[in-house]
Structures are given as structure tokens and as C-alpha cells.
């Protein structure tokens, strides 16, 4: 192509904007590395996986963050497992099942749900949800509570973005399916969902990021015990909660250790992104 001069300069502007967007991540990574460096140098990274437990400010400090990695993974996975089908169902409801007025009302509701501060979710979880769970299995503040609250928080993201993905399917696809006499559900499962899968996948990715990174609400309902959860009713601590709980009062090595949990979180995200990237590519080529 031979774009005109304005086009070329606009294109460079776009590149600059994208570079800024990308650079933010780089800056954050550098920032985390700098802050975590003292702890990575001594005691060294292996301590973070091989120590007995997490007592970063005791006289013989211990820095095992593996249980928190497990807690983060468990809470995120649980929330994704719960929120993905619910979110997609909500999107399908909006698009194909609800009468128009109800659909737009339902969408408003999801938008509001997306804007409720995490403190409010956390507070609600602490006052309403955990006592309910406690009646089954004390202490109530548990992995389950974290999963439920997280699901609730990421559900609007999945639902709203999936809904727009569904909305942008060319009408001719649906008409084609209807012309074949397919039922509504078969049209959805056979035509609509596959056609929108890219948009839905990116919605799920965004939601997964949110679930991994969520702090306040999880902190208030998860119980925050540093342990590998042996049941869904066991209290867990996530990496984010670890930072939020202790950072305000951490000094020196303890503080640096908390930034290592931040780095660890980033590693988790990179693994997740790479994995999903790989799956998507497999699907395209396979």
C-alpha cells in the first residue's frame, strides 16, 4: 500500500499509543523486580518454594509462597469454572431468550454489578455469605466463599463481553440455521457459540485476569490461612491478599518478600496467557 502522508503519520501515532500501552506492563515488571530484588538476592528465590512456612518477619524468617500460589490457582480456577458457564448463559439469555425490554434491563443490571466496589462485595460476603457457609462447615471464611465472591465479580465481564460477541455474529448465520429448521438451542450451540468463540475467549481471558488480580473482596472472605487447601471449605490465602494484608506493616526483607509474591502472580498470569494463546492457536490450526 502507499498510504498518504497523513495516513503514515496517523499510523505512527497509533504505533506510539500502542507502544505506551505495552510499555506500562514493562514498567510494572521492572518496578516489581526492583522492589523484590533484595529478597531475591538473599534469601534467594528457592526459599520461596522450599521453606517450611510463611513467617517473613520472625527472627528466623520463612518465605514459602507455594501454598499461596495454590490458593490463587484454586480460587481463580473455581471462579472461572463457575462464572464462565453462568456468564455465557447470561449473555445467551440476553441475546436469544429474553424479550427485548427484559434483555436491556438485564444488561443494565450486569453493568451495575460490574461497578460495585470490591469492598462492598467483600463486606457482603463477610456479613452474609460466610455465616451461611459456616453453618455447613466452619469457619466459613474459605476457598468456597472466595470462589463464590470472585465468580460474582467476574460474571459481568464475561456476560457483557460475550453478549457483544454474540451480537456481532452476522445475521445470515442465524438465518441459515433457522432455515434448516434447527431448534433454538441447536442454533446456539452449533452456530452462535462457535461463531462468537473468539470474542468469548477474550472475555474469559479478561475475566481470568480480574479473578487473579482481585484483592479486597478475597481478603475479606477467604480466611487468609497460609496453607494448601485440602477441601473447598478450608481457608486459603491468595497472593494478592498476602500483599494487601501485610504490605501496610512490612519493613525491609518482609516488604521485598511481598513483592516476590507480586512477581509470582505475574508469572502465573504469563503462564495463563501463554497457555490460552497456545490453545487458541491449536484450535485454529487443528
Quick one: 41 or 185, whose CB is closer to another protein? 185
169 near 139, Cβ under 8 Å?
Answer: no
Q: How far is the CB of 159 from another protein (least distance, A)?
A: 8
Q: How far is the CB of 41 from another protein (least distance, A)?
A: 19
C-alpha cell of residue 231: 477441601
Decide: is 17 part of the binding site for another protein (CB under 8 A): yes
Q: How far is the CB of 120 from another protein (least distance, A)?
A: 5
Instruction: Build a one-symbol-per-residue string for 226-245: x at contacts with another protein by CB under 8 A, - elsewhere.
Output: x--------x-x-xx--xxx
Decide: is 284 part of the binding site for another protein (CB under 8 A): no
Decide: is 49 part of the binding site for another protein (CB under 8 A): no
Among 234, 64, 231, 20, smallest CA distance to 138 is for 234
Q: What 3-state DSSP class applies to 62? A: strand
Can you tell me which of 31, 37, 136, 278 binds another protein, judged by CB under 8 A? Answer: 31
Decide: is 161 part of the binding site for another protein (CB under 8 A): yes
Q: Is the peptide bond before 208 cis (omega within 30 degrees of 0)?
A: no
Decide: is 224 part of the binding site for another protein (CB under 8 A): yes
Q: What 3-state DSSP class applies to 236? A: strand
Decide: is 190 part of the binding site for another protein (CB under 8 A): no
Quick one: which segment of 43-51, 63-71, 138-146 binds another protein (CB under 8 A)?
138-146
Decide: is 98 part of the binding site for another protein (CB under 8 A): yes
Q: What 3-state DSSP class applies to 174? A: helix
Can you tell me which of 63, 64, 130, 229 binds another protein, judged by CB under 8 A? Answer: 130
190 Cβ partners below 8 Å, 6+ apart?
177, 182
Quick one: which segment of 39-47, 63-71, 223-231 binds another protein (CB under 8 A)?
223-231
Decide: is 167 part of the binding site for another protein (CB under 8 A): yes
How many whole angstroms separate alpha carbon 12 and alpha carbon 19?
Answer: 10
Decide: is 271 part of the binding site for another protein (CB under 8 A): no
Quick one: 44 or 252, whose CB is closer to another protein? 252
Decide: is 33 part of the binding site for another protein (CB under 8 A): no
- Output helix, strand, coil percentages for the chain, rounded to the nearest 5: 80, 0, 20
53 near 226, Cβ under 8 Å?
Answer: yes
Backbone angles phi, psi at 71, to 5 degrees: -60, -45
Decide: is 279 part of the binding site for another protein (CB under 8 A): no
Quick one: which segment of 41-49, 63-71, 130-138 binds another protein (CB under 8 A)?
130-138
How many whole angstroms separate alpha carbon 174 and alpha carbon 218?
Answer: 41
Quick one: which segment of 5-13, 38-46, 63-71 binds another protein (CB under 8 A)?
5-13
C-alpha cell of residue 169: 455474529
Can you tell me which of 49, 81, 127, 228 binds another protein, judged by CB under 8 A? Answer: 127
Quick one: 3 or 44, whose CB is closer to another protein? 3
36 Cβ partners below 8 Å, 6+ apart?
256, 257, 259, 260, 262, 263
Amino acid at each position: 500500500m502507499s498510504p498518504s502522508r497523513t495516513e503514515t503519520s496517523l499510523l505512527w501515532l497509533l504505533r506510539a499509543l500502542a507502544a505506551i500501552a505495552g510499555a506500562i506492563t514493562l514498567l510494572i515488571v521492572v518496578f516489581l523486580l526492583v522492589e523484590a530484588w533484595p529478597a531475591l538476592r538473599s534469601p534467594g528465590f528457592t526459599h520461596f518454594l522450599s521453606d517450611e512456612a510463611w513467617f517473613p518477619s520472625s527472627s528466623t524468617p520463612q518465605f514459602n509462597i507455594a501454598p499461596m500460589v495454590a490458593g490463587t490457582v484454586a480460587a481463580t480456577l473455581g471462579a472461572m469454572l463457575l462464572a464462565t458457564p453462568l456468564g455465557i448463559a447470561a449473555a445467551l439469555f440476553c441475546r436469544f431468550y429474553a424479550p427485548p425490554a427484559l434483555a436491556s434491563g438485564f444488561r443494565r443490571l450486569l453493568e451495575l454489578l460490574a461497578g460495585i466496589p470490591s469492598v462492598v462485595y467483600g463486606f457482603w460476603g463477610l456479613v452474609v455469605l460466610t455465616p451461611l457457609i459456616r453453618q455447613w462447615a466452619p469457619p466459613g471464611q474459605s476457598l468456597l466463599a472466595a470462589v463464590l465472591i470472585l465468580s460474582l465479580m467476574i460474571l459481568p465481564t464475561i456476560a457483557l463481553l460475550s453478549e457483544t460477541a454474540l451480537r456481532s455474529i452476522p445475521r445470515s448465520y442465524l438465518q441459515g440455521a433457522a432455515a434448516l429448521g434447527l431448534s433454538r438451542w441447536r442454533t446456539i450451540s452449533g452456530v452462535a457459540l462457535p461463531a462468537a468463540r473468539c470474542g468469548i475467549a477474550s472475555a474469559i481471558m479478561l475475566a481470568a485476569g480480574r479473578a487473579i488480580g482481585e484483592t479486597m473482596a478475597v481478603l475479606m472472605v477467604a480466611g487468609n490461612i497460609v496453607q494448601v487447601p485440602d477441601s473447598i471449605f478450608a481457608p486459603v490465602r491468595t497472593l494478592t491478599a498476602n500483599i494487601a494484608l501485610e504490605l501496610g506493616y512490612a519493613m525491609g526483607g518482609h516488604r521485598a518478600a511481598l513483592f516476590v509474591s507480586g512477581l509470582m502472580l505475574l508469572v502465573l498470569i504469563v503462564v495463563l496467557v501463554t497457555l490460552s494463546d497456545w490453545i487458541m492457536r491449536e484450535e485454529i490450526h487443528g
